[in-house]
Amino acid sequence: MGVFKMNIERQVEIFNKQAGKYYKRAKQKNIDFRLRSKLLQSATGNILELSVGAGMNFQFYPKSSRITAVDFSPNMLEQARIVAAEQGRQVDFRLGNVEEIALPENNYDTVISTLSLCSYPHPDKVLTQMASWCKEDGKILLYEHGISTNSFVAWLQHKTNSFYMKKVGCHMNRDILKLVQESPLSIVKSEHYMLHAVHLIWAKPVR
């Protein structure tokens, strides 16, 4: 089970092609909607959202919040701008690779990642950056998927990982909880779904 690696340019190409589908998904009220709603009702103040995609999380943020939204896909940001305009929101959009973008430290009340840790080449680096960008008394909200605790499901995830990475730019078999536990984040609360393959995590930075 070798590790499939992909360059950033290819990932951007994959996500550019998916932008329209992400925009349509933003309108659907399914289990994904419910999980996002449950987690993101905790978002407050000056919000930083990483890998914003088509902006499907904007609907859950307080109207009074300030939003900075980062993504490396121009097409995703284009869709997110449409969603922001539909909702009458002012959003500071930043085009860039989350692993390399320069953002102010100790600046955001809430830092958010939803279903994005699966795609970064170096998720440990991104988690470290989240902690540095977040205010000391701020919160980090994660909705992520990874390896299941069910042995059969985990076997399938390992077998299909290269396929999914090539097709949708996503690693299926990352140990998300371990990554978070080994990062400069402290888990305040967590919930787990779908045979422990999907996680909602409320965390705070460790200084």
Topology (CATH level 3) of domain 8-205: Rossmann fold (3.40.50)
- Rounded mean pLDDT, 95-117: 97
- Backbone conformation region of residue 59, classed left if phi is above 0, alpha if psi is from -120 to 50, else beta: alpha
- Cα separation, 205 vs 140, in Å, equals 7
pLDDT of res. 9:
79
In sequence order, the β-bridge partners of residue 70 are: 50, 94
Tokens of 166: 């090539």
- Rounded mean pLDDT, 99-126: 97
pLDDT level of residue 3 (50, 70, 90 thresholds): very low
Q: Dump pLDDT digits (tens) for 170-182.
A: 999 999 999 999 9
pLDDT of res. 156:
98
Alpha carbon dihedral 149, 153, 157, 158, in 10-degree steps, equals 80
In a 3-state reduction of DSSP, which class is residue 203?
A: strand
- Cα separation, 153 vs 142, in Å, equals 22
- Cα separation, 50 vs 71, in Å, equals 7
- Rounded mean pLDDT, 89-94: 98
- Rounded mean pLDDT, 138-143: 99
Residue 98 has pLDDT above 90, yes or no: yes
8 Å CB contact between 101 and 128: no
Domain definitions of the chain by residue range: 8-205
In a 3-state reduction of DSSP, which class is residue 24?
A: helix
- Rounded mean pLDDT, 30-42: 96
pLDDT of res. 6:
63
